[in-house]
Amino acid sequence: MKEQSTRSLLLGAAFLMATSAIGPGFLTQTTHFTQQLAASFGFVILISIIIDIGAQLNIWRIIAVSEKPAQDIANNLLPGLGVFLSVLIVAGGLAFNIGNIAGAGLGTNVLFGISPEMGALFSGVVAVAVFLVREAGKVMDRFAQIAGFVMIALTIFVMFSAQPPVGEAVTKTFVPDTIDFLAIITLVGGTVGGYITFAGGHRLLDAGVKGKEALPQVTKSSVSAIGIASVMRIFLFLASLGVVASGFTLNPENPPASVFQAAAGNVGYKIFGVIMWAAAVTSVVGAAYTSVSFIRTFNKTINKHHKWFIVAFIVISTTVFVSVGEPVKVLILVGSLNGLILPIALGVMLVAAYKQKIVGDYKHPLWLTIFGVLIVIAMSYMGVMSLIQGIPKLFG
């Protein structure tokens, strides 16, 4: 029995992370970049998968070995750093959740024709319900798994309808016409940036999968999570490529919807509604769970009643969207700040991996450290660039 429950836990954490990554932004970015770069976008996906694995393996392993959540590791290294990280994560999680709720409203609007606001309320209720049941952790894992399977299966169906030029996609994945660095960073940010990588890392910790002996399982779960998100990304890329290659121009207001519609007509449009809703609601659940996991350890009350804090988190995001709509400027700012979370968090983890008081006698593999340092440098540079580009837009 123990083996079975551990396996479902590892899979649950992997799906929680993957479905947190697959949100409205993920769908829009993937289709947008496919239109821009065509088959060469395959190369961007390949490189971003390698970076994602490097970042996530480092972070999940060090959380497991130290048996502490990321914010406590950061505070151990430099008092106050964990608090700073948590503020960034919670602000990001809250802002992105407003966008996720908006996406859920869009999905229900496509499916049932109800207003996005009504759809958002309904979706907020579904997300809250996940945490109100007694075995909330298990329900959350299962919810993420089912939604993940449904999204991937439907995308595969649409991909076959779109008849993409697979041969060309494979060739250009290894020999691209152009290399777009911004696209690579955007994908990495959208997959492991911000709160997303910690969704699974903290979930495993929460469930007691930790310590040196758990490392093989943590490694497996970590790579599976990137694998699941990447499978979705690749099929969505191929579906979009099929549509773009046939000369169809995507609607800039809603690129993913036009891909599904062009590939499979009205059925495709409804499928888009299902995928959009599932992508959005699983991201709402993941963002709320993970953001609260960052403040739980600072206060006994929060820790004891963390479920209610998660519920409040979802209620606030839903209320803001329903009453104000999407705060565009806030989203631009937080999106820019979000690029800084991964390099700070990963940097903290890499330093912590060599501190005996945090990891004990654990020896972190040198190749992972080098890989991690390169990612920190690249992502810091891009994070600063995105801030420089993002800030003027706020006043423009």
Tens of pLDDT, residue by residue over 149-198, are 999 999 999 999 999 999 999 999 999 998 887 788 888 888 888 889 99
Distances (CA, A) of 26 to 84, 127, 188, 382, 386: 26, 19, 11, 19, 18
Of the pLDDT bands very low, low, confident and very high (cuts 50, 70, 90), residue 383 is: confident
Of the pLDDT bands very low, low, confident and very high (cuts 50, 70, 90), residue 390 is: low
Distances (CA, A) of 262 to 107, 151, 161, 244, 301: 17, 18, 9, 9, 51
- Structure-token pair, residue 322: 């329903």
CA 181 – CA 337 distance, rounded (Å): 18
Say if residues 243 and 162 touch (Cβ distance below 8 Å).
yes
Of the pLDDT bands very low, low, confident and very high (cuts 50, 70, 90), residue 361 is: very high
> Once rounded to an integer, what is the mean pLDDT over residues 344-370?
93
Of the pLDDT bands very low, low, confident and very high (cuts 50, 70, 90), residue 328 is: low
10 Å Cβ neighbour count for 313? Answer: 24
pLDDT in tens, 39-94: 999 999 999 999 999 999 999 999 999 999 999 999 999 999 999 999 989 988 88
For the chain, the C-alpha Rg in angstroms (whole number) is: 20
Q: What is the mean pLDDT of the chain?
A: 91
> Which contiguous run of DSSP H or E holds residue 156?
helix 136-162
CA 144 – CA 240 distance, rounded (Å): 24
CA 374 – CA 144 distance, rounded (Å): 31
As a three-state string, the secondary structure of 309-329 is HHHHHHHHHHHHHHHHCCCHH
Q: Among 20-29, 167-176, 214-223, name the one with the lowest average pLDDT.
A: 20-29
> Once rounded to an integer, what is the mean pLDDT over residues 7-36?
92
**150: Cβ contacts below 8 Å, ≥ 6 apart:** 274, 275, 278
Residue 127 carries which side chain, given as an amino acid letter? Answer: A
> Once rounded to an integer, what is the mean pLDDT over residues 377-381?
88
Alpha-carbon dihedral sign for residues 10, 12, 16, 21? positive
Determine the topology of domain 4-392 in CATH: Amino acid/polyamine transporter I (1.20.1740)
Distances (CA, A) of 331 to 98, 157, 338, 389: 9, 32, 10, 14
pTM value surpassing 0.85: yes
Q: Is the pLDDT of residue 386 over 60?
A: yes
> Once rounded to an integer, what is the mean pLDDT over residues 10-23?
94
CA 165 – CA 162 distance, rounded (Å): 9
- What's the burial of 362, exposed, middle or buried (CB within 10 Å: 0-12/13-18/19+)? middle
Q: Is the pLDDT of residue 337 over 80?
A: no
Domain ranges of the chain: 4-392
CA 248 – CA 296 distance, rounded (Å): 49
10 Å Cβ neighbour count for 187? Answer: 27
Q: Is the pLDDT of residue 1 over 60?
A: no
Percent of the chain beyond pLDDT 70?
A: 95
